[in-house]
Chain A
Amino acid sequence: MTRKLSELVEEQAFTWSGVKPPNMPGVRLAEALESSISGFEALRGLLAFEDEPSSFEAALQATKEVC
């Protein structure tokens, strides 16, 4: 990555949401997203083609405690 992550976040936040960096801790926490990116990079391939958000409610029922 040639540009700092905080610069990319600044560009994306303003371009898509009209939000500007509020303060320096915000810029530092944006830099800290690097660990999230690494986390997602390590998870590539885990998502199945059929996975969808609504499966969570079904999973709560499928795995629930049975008295």
Chain B
Amino acid sequence: MNKPLPSSGVLALSMTDVAAAIRKGDVTAVEATKASLDAFAAHDKAINSAIWLERETALETAEAYDKLQKTGKILGPLHGVPLAHKDMYYKTGKLSTCGSAIRKDFKPTYTATVIERLEAAGSVTLGGLNMAEFAQNPTGHNRHFGHCRNPWGTDYCTGGSSSGSGAAVAARFVFGALGSDTGGSVRLPASICGVTGIKGTQTRVSRYGVMPLSFSADNVGPLCKTAKDCAAFMQVISGHDPKDPTSASEPVPDYLAMLDGDIRGMLIGVPTNYFFDDIDDEVMAAFTEVCKILEARGAIILPVTIPNMDAIATYGGIVSRVEGGTIHAQWMRERPQDYAVHLSARLYGSYGIPAVYYIEGLAKRGPLLKALAAEVFEKCRVFITPTLRTKVPTLLATDIDAGTPGAEKAFMDVSLNTRPINYMGLPSVSVPCGFDSNGLPIGFQIQGRPFAEGLVLKVADAYQRETDWHLRKPPISA
């Protein structure tokens, strides 16, 4: 056996590297888990990324996995790897607050399929991470458990709704974390915290045992340091689940095998409409560099027009909103005061949207996807855009509850580029691509045809072979 790595160095590894180190015997599951828990204990006060952690249970699990490994058995590709997840993934008997006061004591009686799959693959679950209340804001504000803060600058938002997942991975507290993405909630914190995050094709990953927000647009997805980690993570959680009849039966390819770095001759589209409206100069400059790097690796960048963007933006703006309003109606009648101001304010408007428009939004989704595929994906394999159009806003600038002037618009603008992708159901990965003049990360997102998760990750991985934005360490980190 090689000499074990020092525990202070373990957290610098990627998820796939630490998994390999554990398999090889260079690191034990207990060492990795202890390092992770110690990092939370030492640094999380500054960024508030965790809602709850189970230290003793996690260490006991890790110890059991180490003993198992000594008998020659490995549970799976994530054997011994500590992970923590957005606090909305149900596990029997464990807390699942959904970031809310309403469910602050909720302990489900069944377990999410994605948790079962991750634990069957050998991961050690540490606890529940901070999140927007009921996954319903794009900034990471949380009145009930405290705002999650960006490890690159604590006055700035983390992005939401998977705020704790983005912050904890960026700060190197954990090697990966589940988020969820209904309008950008994986990609926004990934971009804003400087990590990599993917939402799969709508229906790609089971949602059984996952707190619902919008059954038409909810997606489960990971945030990790690298595209390779995201590929390994998606490999474990993707695929049909009999407990979620909406999950796709589409076979899951070998995502890791697709990451060969070869994008020579690949046609990559850059939209000429919508996604760059009123874009910040610094974000645009970073995105321009992305195009140059992809071209340097042999890709061919070409302009594409995304058809029907007005329709996609309009329909995409109401479908998940109405569905969220529907499932929250009883609590909105009985205990509206238990929601944060910004959330009850947002839910309230959904009761004024006529059903005929909601149904129109659902009915046009298929035809609009077909039109987009015919117009865009016949010309290019993937298309890329900035994940946000703006620099990372501060928590104060987007704080509706605090009454900040202009906060409502700033809040809604955060998800302008991500929300339409959910409506179209496309796979999309956000990748770090620079820093703004405030020292906060910038990201871009890569979209492909339905079930092209492997392809978008391949492009992300090719980009990361040329850059080190995803490896930078924030001021607050382990």
Query: Which residue numbers of A lie inside 8 Å of B, CB to CB?
Result: 5, 8-9, 12-13, 16-23, 25-26, 28-30, 32-33, 36, 39-40, 42-43, 46-48, 51-65, 67
Provide the B354-388 mask, 1 if CB < 8 A to any CB of A, else 0. Answer: 00010110111111011001000100000000000
Q: At the interface, yes or no: B38 with Cβ under 8 Å from chain A?
A: no
CB-CB under 8 A from B353, the residues of chain A are 33, 36
The residue on A at minimum CB distance from B451 is A64
Nearest-CB distance from B21 to chain A (Å)? 31
Decide yes or no: A60 and B314 within 8 Å by CB, A12-B351, A33-B353, A65-B450 being known contacts: no
Inter-chain contacts of B366 with A (CB < 8 A): 51, 53-59
Whether A9 contacts B349 by the Cβ 8 Å rule is yes
Q: What's the dominant secondary structure at chain A's contact region? A: helix
Binary contact track B304-338/A, C-beta < 8 Å → 1, others 0? 00000011011101100000000001001100110
The closest CB in chain B to the CB of A43 belongs to B311
B400 adjacent to chain A (CB < 8 Å): yes
One of A17, A23, A55 near B345 (C-beta < 8 A): A23
Per-residue interface assignment for chain B, residues 419 to 460, with 1 indicating a CB less than 8 Å from any chain A CB and 0 otherwise: 000000100000000000000000000001111101100000
- Residues in chain A near residue B250, CB distance under 8 A: 64
Q: Once the chains bind, are A65 and B451 in contact (CB under 8 Å)? A: yes
Shortest distance in angstroms between A48's beta carbon and chain B's nearest beta carbon? Answer: 7
Q: How distant is the Cα of A33 from the Cα of B424 in the complex, in angstroms?
A: 22
Q: Kindly list chain B residues whose C-beta atoms are within 8 Å of the C-beta of A58.
A: 366
Does B344 touch A at the CB level, under 8 Å? yes
From A5, A26, A63, give the contact of B370 (CB < 8 A).
A63
Q: Are A63 and B449 in contact (CB under 8 A)?
A: yes
Cα A43 to Cα B190 with chains together (Å): 33
Nearest Cβ distance between residue B306 and chain A, in whole angstroms? Answer: 14
Q: Does the CB pair B450–A23 fall under 8 Å?
A: no
Q: Which residues on the A side are within 8 Å of B9 (C-beta)? A: none
Contacts of A8 in B (CB 8 A): 352
Q: Top 10 A-B pairs ranked by shortest CB distance?
A: A55-B366, A9-B352, A39-B314, A13-B351, A65-B452, A63-B373, A26-B345, A22-B344, A53-B362, A59-B366
Interface contact B369-A65, CB-CB below 8 Å: no
Which listed residue (B329, B341, B363) contacts A19, Cβ 8 A? B329
Contacting residues, chain B, for A30 (C-beta < 8 A):
348-349, 352
Which residues of the other chain, A, contact B364 by a CB distance below 8 angstroms? 46-47, 51
Please, which residue of chain B has its CB at the minimum distance from the CB of A67?
B253
Residues of A within 8 A of B202 (CB): 56, 60
- Chain A residue contacts of B337, Cβ below 8 A: 22
Contact, CB under 8 Å: B455 / A65: yes
- A67 CB contacts on chain B under 8 angstroms: 253, 454
CA distance A51 to B263 in the complex (A): 38
From A16, which residue of chain B is reached at the shortest CB distance?
Answer: B351
**A40 adjacent to B357 (CB under 8 Å):** yes
Chain B interface (Cβ within 8 Å of chain A)? 201-203, 248, 250, 253, 310-311, 313-315, 317-318, 329, 332-333, 336-337, 339, 341-342, 344-346, 348-349, 351-353, 357, 359-360, 362-367, 369-370, 373, 377, 400-401, 408, 425, 448-452, 454-455
User: In the complex, how many residue pairs between chain A and chain B have their CB atoms under 8 Å apart?
Assistant: 148
Asked if A59 contacts B351 (CB within 8 A), the reply is no
Cβ 8 A contact of B310, one of A26, A39, A48? A39
18 A-B interface contacts by CB (under 8 A): A13-B352, A17-B351, A25-B408, A30-B349, A32-B408, A39-B314, A39-B317, A40-B357, A42-B314, A47-B363, A56-B365, A57-B366, A60-B202, A60-B425, A60-B450, A63-B369, A65-B449, A67-B454
Closest A-chain residue to B452, C-beta based? A65
Give bound CA distance, A36 to B367, whole Å: 20
Q: Pick the residue among A5, A26, A36, A46 that contacts B348 (CB under 8 A).
A: A26
Task: Return chain A residues, CB-CB under 8 Å to B369.
Answer: 56, 59-60, 63
A17:B329 contact, CB within 8 angstroms: yes
Docked CA distance A16–B329 (Å) = 11
Contact of B349 among A16, A32, A47, A64 (CB under 8 A): A32
CA–CA, A3 to B371, complex, Å? Answer: 38
- Determine whether the beta carbon of A18 is less than 8 Å from that of B349: no
Q: How far is the CA of A25 from the CA of B340 in the complex (A)?
A: 11
A22 CB → nearest B CB, Å? 4
Report whether A64 and B365 are in contact in the complex, using a CB–CB cutoff of 8 Å.
no
B308 CB, nearest partner CB in chain A, Å: 8
**B352 contacts A53, CB within 8 Å?**
no
Give CA–CA (A29, B452) in the complex, Å.
Answer: 36
Of A25, A28, A48, A57, most B-chain CB atoms within 10 Å:
A25
- Give the residues in chain B near A51, CB-CB below 8 Å: 363-364, 366-367
Rounded to whole Å, the gap between the CB of B259 and the closest CB of chain A is 14
Q: Is the CB of B349 within 8 A of A22?
A: no
Question: Given the complex, which residues of B lie within 8 Å of A5, measured CB to CB?
Answer: 352
User: For the complex, what is the distance from the CA of A59 to the CA of B370, rounded to whole Å?
Assistant: 6
